[in-house]
């Protein structure tokens, strides 16, 4: 039987790894790929759609879709990429990476945010779609270097809100910004800073799309600590005020998910769990957390959403 738990207490018991992890690997892909990882996830027409980052053997990434009825097994992978970099017309020179998706409550459109690798460095691209067949490129909200962005699925006092992770003077905090039209952005503020000395001391970045719950917006984020043996990417939780997402109301001290199994410890970048998509099953209240493992394959862990919120609600006020 495959191992699904860590050999010692590297994390608490909130998230359980799926027994058939990894769910998607480069060898599953219908065309040559070096790595498939860091997928956006959304429920679409009753199925789970993953928009995976596929890295080719030049080291350039594009985004490709895989679909499953239960979100765990029998993934149907598109034979062609869904979104490829267009270096002529757009900001993407060396690829599209690490998408997140939300469905906008006002328009029903899907907002995809991904990292474009431009000449000036990584930056965020915003792409809208109604059907995942035709796409409207909305450009780049912020200059490089910026990553790990996602829109909130609804507006706050008439303003769109986006979480993102600029790199400023070598510091990598999670920020929030607002826009009246998805074009002009302002009211930039640090939302979740790195914590000196902690497990998330070197970099933090948004993980999955923000999840709206009665307890607030659940933020699942990654935190990085650089150790003598390399970087360790782990996962933490925070809650934001439902009506004012600038307000951080809880931030957990401990990480809740950490690399420990072979597919998380060995690959292109060992010691990485990097969540980028989540789906909540409304009937069972199960949260499925999709993550890239070691920058090589895609895995999933499940949790009871109520248990996650109960835990997050006991975390300290920042
Ligand atoms: C981040 C991003 C991710 C990657 C992670 C770990 O900076 O580039 O795409 O998974 O590093 O290497």
Query: According to the 3-state scheme, what is the secondary structure of the chain?
Result: CCCCCCCCCCCCCCCEECCCCCCECHHHCCCCCCEEEEEEEEEECCEEEEEEEEECCCCCEEEEEEEECCCCCCCEECCCCCECCCCCCCCCCCEEEEEEEEECCCCCCEEEEEEEEECCEEEEEEEEECCCCCEEECCCCCCCCEEEEEECCCCECCEEEEEEEECECCECCEEEEEECCCCCCEEEEEEECCCCCCCCCCEEEECCCCEEECCEEEEEEEEEEEECCEEEEEEEEEEECCCCCCCEEEECCCCCECCCCHHHHCCCCCCEEEEEEEEEECCCCEEEEEEEECCCEEEEEEEEHHHHHHHHHCCCCC
Q: Whose CA is nearest to atom 2 of ligand 1?
A: 98
Q: Is 269 in the pocket of ligand 1 (CB under 6 A)?
A: yes
CA 175 – CA 183 distance, rounded (Å): 17
What is the value of pTM for the model shown? 0.97
Per-residue pLDDT, 10 = 81
Are β-strands 211-213 and 203-206 bridged in parallel, bridged antiparallel, or unpaired? unpaired
Percent of the chain with pLDDT over 70: 99
Q: Whose CA is nearest to atom 12 of ligand 1?
A: 269
Q: Which CB contacts under 8 angstroms, 24+ apart, belong to 232-235?
A: 232/199, 232/258, 232/259, 232/271, 233/259, 233/271, 233/272, 233/273, 233/274, 234/199, 234/200, 234/258, 234/259, 234/273, 235/207, 235/273, 235/275, 235/291
Q: Distance, CA 62 to ligand 1 centroid (Å)? A: 15
250-284 tens-digit pLDDT: 999 999 999 999 999 999 999 999 999 999 999 99
Instruction: Assess whether pLDDT exceeds 90 at residue 6.
Output: no
Q: Distance, CA 29 to ligand 1 centroid (Å)? A: 21
Contacts of 162 (CB under 8 A, 6+ apart): 113, 124, 141, 149, 150, 151, 152, 176, 177, 178, 179, 185
Q: Is 148 in the pocket of ligand 1 (CB under 6 A)?
A: no
Higher pLDDT, 3 or 62: 62
Mean pLDDT over residues 60-86, rounded? 97
Mean pLDDT over residues 198-221, rounded? 98
Per-residue pLDDT, 1 = 62
**Which residue from 195, 205, 189, 194 is spatially nearest to 244, judged by alpha carbons?**
189
140-174 tens-digit pLDDT: 999 999 999 999 999 999 999 999 999 999 999 99
Per-residue pLDDT, 86 = 84
Let me know the angle formed at the C-alpha of 165 by 229 and 97, rounded to the nearest 5 degrees. 75
Higher pLDDT, 11 or 175: 175
Which atom of ligand 1 has the smallest separation from the CA of 292?
10
Which atom of ligand 1 has the smallest separation from the CA of 98?
9
pLDDT confidence bin for 7, thresholds 50/70/90: confident
Percent of the chain with pLDDT over 90: 92
Q: Whose CA is nearest to atom 4 of ligand 1?
A: 295
Q: Distance, CA 264 to ligand 1 centroid (Å)? A: 13
Contact between 105 and 128 under an 8 Å Cβ cutoff? The reply is no
Instruction: Assess whether pLDDT exceeds 90 at residue 177.
Output: yes
**Which residue from 112, 115, 191, 185 is spatially nearest to 148, judged by alpha carbons?**
115
Contact between 257 and 289 under an 8 Å Cβ cutoff? The reply is yes
Instruction: Assess whether pLDDT exceeds 80 at residue 8.
Output: no
CATH number for the segment(s) 31-313: 2.115.10.20
Mean pLDDT over residues 13-41, rounded? 98
Q: Distance, CA 233 to ligand 1 centroid (Å)? A: 9
Q: Mean pLDDT across the chain, nearest whole number?
A: 96
Instruction: Assess whether pLDDT exceeds 80 at residue 237.
Output: yes
Q: Distance, CA 282 to ligand 1 centroid (Å)? A: 30
Per-residue pLDDT, 272 = 98
């Amino acid at each position: 039987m495959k191992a699904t738990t860590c050999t010692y207490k590297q994390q608490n018991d909130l998230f359980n790894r799926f027994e058939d992890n990894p769910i998607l690997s480069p060898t599953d892909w219908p065309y040559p790929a070096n790595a498939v990882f860091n997928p956006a996830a959304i429920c679409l027409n009753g199925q789970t759609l993953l928009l995976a980052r596929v890295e080719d053997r030049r080291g350039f990434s594009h985004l490709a879709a895989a679909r499953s009825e239960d979100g765990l097994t029998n993934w149907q992978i598109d034979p062609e990429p869904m979104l490829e970099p267009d270096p002529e017309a757009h900001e993407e020179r060396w690829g599209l990476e690490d998408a997140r998706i939300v469905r906008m409550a006002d328009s029903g459109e899907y907002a995809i945010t991904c990292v474009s690798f431009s000449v000036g460095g990584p930056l965020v691209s915003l792409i809208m779609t109604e059907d995942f067949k035709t796409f409207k490129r909305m450009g780049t909200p912020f200059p490089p270097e910026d990553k790990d962005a996602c829109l909130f699925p609804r507006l706050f006092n008439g303003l769109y809100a986006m979480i993102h992770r600029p790199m400023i003077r070598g510091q990598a905090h999670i920020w929030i910004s607002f826009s009246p039209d998805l074009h002009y952005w302002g009211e930039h503020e640090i939302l979740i800073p790195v914590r000196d000395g902690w497990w998330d001391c070197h970099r933090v970045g948004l993980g999955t799309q923000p999840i709206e719950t009665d307890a607030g917006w659940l933020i699942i984020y990654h935190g990085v600590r650089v150790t003598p043996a390399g970087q360790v990417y782990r996962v933490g939780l925070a809650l934001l005020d439902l009506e004012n997402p600038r307000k951080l109301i809880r931030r957990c001290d401990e990480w809740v998910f950490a690399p420990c199994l072979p597919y998380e410890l060995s690959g292109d970048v060992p010691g990485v769990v990097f969540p980028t998509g989540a789906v909540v099953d409304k009937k069972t209240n199960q949260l499925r957390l999709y993550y890239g493992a070691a920058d090589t394959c895609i895995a999933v862990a499940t949790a009871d959403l109520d248990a996650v919120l109960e835990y997050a609600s006991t975390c300290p006020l920042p």
